[in-house]
Chains A and B, each alone.
Chain A
Amino acid sequence: LEKQESDEEEDEEEEEEQGALRWKEGLQQRAAEAFLRQQEAAPNLRKLVYGSVVEAKEEEEEDEEELGGLFRVSRPQKSKKVQTNALDCSRFQPDAGRDWDGEEMLDSIRDCFVTGKWEEGQDAE
């Protein structure tokens, strides 16, 4: 019985090894696919703007549940409501993930200023 178990373990190990190697298969192809996917993501901005929008309608039927067969509980769906009845404001909220205390972030915009590096052929007048 012990032998059997050890055999199985060996089998598993073998499988694992194979599995470990399997991810290496077709790396190039998968990289190419990922690249293409990214390429597609870029022009999708037009689709995002003009594509068929999933209408954020509040579905009347779904959020009504019967209570004792007589009354209906109306629960407004918060997430969907945000779209149609949200605050009408033109402000673009900043990305909270960016840390403007870090040198890295500050460096990423350095050339937007006249004090930054200039392209060839351009010069501060």
Chain B
Amino acid sequence: MASHGLTYEGCNFFRQRLVLSTLSGKHVKIKNIRSRDDEPGLRDFEASFIRLLDKVTNGSRIEINQTGTVLFYQPGLLYGGSVEHECNPQRSIGYYLEALLMLAPFMKNPLKANLKGVTNDPIDPSVDMLKSTALPLMKKFGIDGESFDLKVVKRGMAPGGGGEVVFTCPVRKTIRPVQLTEPGKIKRIRGVAYSVRVSPQMGNRIVESARSVLNKFLPDIYIYTDHMKGANSGKSPGFGLTLVAETLNGCFLSAEMSSTPQGQGDPVLPEDLGRNCAKLLLEEVYRGGCVDSSNQSLALLLMTLGQQDVSKVLLGPLSPYTIEFLRHIRDFFQIMFKIEVQKPLEDERKGGDKVLMTCVGVGYSNISKTVK
């Protein structure tokens, strides 16, 4: 592949750049990382992310200057296999997992990643959310099989962490192009109300209040309560809710909320959390599309790396993160999407504007996959 590299500035969109660099084989240089900050340079969680990337690849070259404000990354071969990683608790496992989801199908050996750290925090998509939205999305692209799983072994809330998940993913030689243009109507809502190191009653209180909002739309709502105890409950107390709306065409929209980490701001009542989370789900439904707003970039990446055929996906409004991702895809793969805005009809009650994304895949093929 082309050997010329790309240069960026700042620590934002850090994972996108390194992931796309790894997949495209182009080296990348990131300058001015928090260069004018009181504490300049890379943070611990970013260093932890680089270490994880180093574990799943073979022969990557990583150079960081003394102050940590400049990073040079030359990707190696995506090796995969069995990996264990202690994720820095500044960010939740979701932060690391989002990148692994993008890389896992393109490895030499099927990935089995054992990640330890914070499973749920208010910042990043939690492991529960990724399990219920990202995995079914990837299945639509032909990444499937018995070994495709994400299991929450132990739950660990922020800030202490102490949680553990196991992510296993098969490898694919090519990715199937998709046509996801019709989300279909929402047939049911499922959810998980989790609580650790607090009264198990918290879960029930969350469920009650979330149902009170959602029952105006659907009767088919089931929210599981998940109360983990003892060694499986991590180091910090907390609770939260993940809601997922499933449509007739098998699209998943989700929303979640987590309690404020211990010692960081005002505590929240489980009733408020449940109600607000339900409203977040309604907001997500209003945005709509076939893909959840936090998985937009994953869908776009798999479209880009698909076989040389047309892929179409209907999304809700593009998030700022996704817009930047589209620019990065252009930089690394020279692919530009056709972007069409679909305004809702006058008498339609299906939320806001949608965006139809169309592209022709680059015909990426996983050459490192072992032939059996």
A76: B residues at CB distance < 8 A: 36-37
Per-residue CB proximity of A50-82 to B under 8 Å, as 1/0? 100100011000000000000000101000010
B349 lies within 8 A of A111 (CB): yes
B222: A residues at CB distance < 8 A: none
A113 lies within 8 A of B186 (CB): yes
B283 lies within 8 A of A94 (CB): yes
B37: A residues at CB distance < 8 A: 76, 85
Per-residue CB proximity of B318-329 to A under 8 Å, as 1/0? 111111001100
Q: Which of A84, A86, A111 has the largest count of B CB atoms less than 10 A from its CB? A: A84
Given A91-B123, A100-B282, do A50 and B351 touch, yes or no (CB 8 Å)?
A: no
B282: A residues at CB distance < 8 A: 100, 105-106, 109
B341 lies within 8 A of A114 (CB): no
Distance from A38 Cβ to chain B, minimum over Cβ atoms (Å): 10
Which one of B15, B33, B186 lies within 8 Å of A85 (CB-CB)? B33
Looking at A2-10, A12-20, A22-30, A40-48, the stretch in contact with chain B turns out to be: A40-48
A58 lies within 8 A of B36 (CB): yes
| A-facing residues in B1-35 (Cβ within 8 Å) | 9-16, 32-34
Distance from A116 Cβ to chain B, minimum over Cβ atoms (Å): 7
Interface residues on B, range: 35 or more
- Give Cα distance in the complex from A58 to B286, angstroms: 37
Distance from A123 Cβ to chain B, minimum over Cβ atoms (Å): 11
- Give Cα distance in the complex from A83 to B349, angstroms: 35
A94: B residues at CB distance < 8 A: 280, 283
Which one of B14, B16, B351 lies within 8 Å of A112 (CB-CB)? B351
Distance from A1 Cβ to chain B, minimum over Cβ atoms (Å): 62
A45: B residues at CB distance < 8 A: 318, 339, 341, 355
B348: A residues at CB distance < 8 A: 111
B156: A residues at CB distance < 8 A: none
A53 lies within 8 A of B339 (CB): no
A118: B residues at CB distance < 8 A: 185
B283: A residues at CB distance < 8 A: 94-95, 98, 100
Q: Which of A87, A108, A113, A116 has the largest count of B CB atoms less than 10 A from its CB? A: A113
A90 lies within 8 A of B280 (CB): no
Distance from B285 Cβ to chain A, minimum over Cβ atoms (Å): 5
Distance from A102 Cβ to chain B, minimum over Cβ atoms (Å): 11
- Give Cα distance in the complex from A58 to B33, angstroms: 12
- Give Cα distance in the complex from A88 to B124, angstroms: 9
Say yes or no: is B128 at the interface (Cβ < 8 Å to chain A): no
B125 lies within 8 A of A100 (CB): no
Nearest opposing residue in chain B for A99, CB measure: B279
B285 lies within 8 A of A88 (CB): no
A90: B residues at CB distance < 8 A: 98, 124-125, 294, 297, 319, 321
Distance from B329 Cβ to chain A, minimum over Cβ atoms (Å): 10
A106: B residues at CB distance < 8 A: 216-217, 282
Which one of A50, A89, A116 lies within 8 Å of B327 (CB-CB)? A50
Nearest opposing residue in chain B for A82, CB measure: B12
Q: Which of A49, A58, A110, A115 has the largest count of B CB atoms less than 10 A from its CB? A: A49
B124 lies within 8 A of A89 (CB): yes
Per-residue CB proximity of B336-372 to A under 8 Å, as 1/0? 1111010100001111000100000000000000000
Distance from B322 Cβ to chain A, minimum over Cβ atoms (Å): 8
Given A91-B123, A112-B185, A113-B185, do A81 and B36 touch, yes or no (CB 8 Å)?
A: yes
Distance from B215 Cβ to chain A, minimum over Cβ atoms (Å): 11
